[in-house]
Copies of this chain bind each other. A is one copy, B any other.
């Protein structure tokens, strides 16, 4: 396999874009990435895009072809990939394979979702399609309820508190306040979270990531060619993916995601590194409890100690491991198909030293962790500074 590098990246602001269409968001992010890579469209050999549910959100499937068309890239082949909220991460993985295999040289990979054109109840229903439609959604189990079950069990087994979960949201809003692309750029306090409206006990509205519009894109090239495009290539050191049962009730444990642990093991082995080598991680905090479980499952803290670590500030930018410097899903926003690519964009900026106002000092190795549904898909990438 050839080594693969990111040579350019870009994204739209995440938020409620009532004045921009799906197509416009794609073009904005895609053009920024292409310009950042200093290439023209003619150089692009192929593309991949992660989108979860455009058919339900905007009545449009066949997103790959739509993007080739609206980006002016025809006849370049562009393929849509879907794995619920992990769609972006999976698209990155396909792009990685396309370059690693030698089939293509320059590949653009995007993620996009336009969610705010539907009302909230309909969005919740569409997102429910990421879980088990027949055994969960049909019976009324939507995602806040599913993650609330995990939170309750984590609290029961390990003494994790609502305050610990709230501290994740406070930290991510603080990080997001330094990110001009974030949906919410305001800081909050523990009390903001604890006093906010209950969604599914114990998760309150500030424990939940928002409904968002947004797009993000990266440009990939063989590492051996990367320096001809950029002075600051970022190598993709590993790409790993794992599956678990789609329904929560079939799992061995509710206090962590097995797919995350398996994918992380594979990724660490592929790159020849371990948790202590990672300087920063963009991980899948769809709910605050999800971040606490993830920092345990990824090996940064022991199982059961994630909540305490969050409360003690050990996951802040200047902590032991910088978690979600972009603001994460909570504060930067969560246009589901775009999230996995936004994570790669943030890690790229960090490894290049371009994350102004929220830069992790001397960052050399970064990780992205993107989850589909309640953990039935986990996809993990590791990235290394090569400038």
Contact = CB atoms under 8 A, between A and B. Distances in A.
17 contacts: A56-B56, A59-B137, A59-B138, A60-B133, A60-B134, A62-B82, A62-B377, A63-B82, A65-B373, A66-B376, A68-B376, A75-B258, A75-B259, A75-B262, A76-B242, A79-B90, A101-B102
Interface of A: 1, 21, 46, 52-53, 55-56, 58-66, 68-69, 73-84, 90, 93-94, 97-98, 100-103, 125-126, 128-134, 137-138, 239, 241-247, 250, 258-259, 262, 372-373, 376-377, 379
Contact of A103 (B62, B78, B97, B245): B97
Nearest to A98: B97
A94 B245 CA distance: 23
A80 B372 CA distance: 12
Given A1-B102, A98-B97, A244 B83 contact: no
Contacts of A63: 82
Contact of A84 (B62, B76, B241, B373): B62
Given A65-B373, A76-B243, 19 more contacts: A1-B101, A1-B102, A46-B241, A55-B55, A60-B129, A64-B90, A65-B84, A65-B246, A65-B377, A66-B132, A69-B376, A74-B243, A75-B243, A77-B241, A77-B242, A77-B243, A80-B83, A94-B94, A103-B239
Nearest to A240: B77
A53 B61 contact: yes
A80 B79 contact: no
Contacts of A103: 1, 97, 100-101, 239
A281 B246 CA distance: 37
A31 B56 CA distance: 30
A78 B241 CA distance: 9
A373 B94 CA distance: 22
Nearest to A58: B133
Nearest to A62: B84
A76 to B, nearest CB: 6
Given A97-B97, A244-B75, A376 B65 contact: yes
Most-contacted residue by chain B among A52, A74, A98, A130 (CB, 10 A): A74
Contact of A94 (B56, B75, B79, B126): B79
A103 B238 CA distance: 11
Most-contacted residue by chain B among A52, A69, A246 (CB, 10 A): A246
A83 B55 contact: no
A21 B138 CA distance: 15
A89 to B, nearest CB: 10
A313 B28 CA distance: 51
Contact of A79 (B93, B102, B132): B93
A105 to B, nearest CB: 13
Given A53-B61, A79-B94, A83-B62, A74 B245 contact: yes
Contact of A130 (B21, B61, B93, B138): B61
Contacts of A53: 55, 61
Contacts of A60: 129, 133-134
Contacts of A46: 241
Most-contacted residue by chain B among A46, A82, A131, A247 (CB, 10 A): A82
A82 B137 CA distance: 23
A372 B62 contact: yes
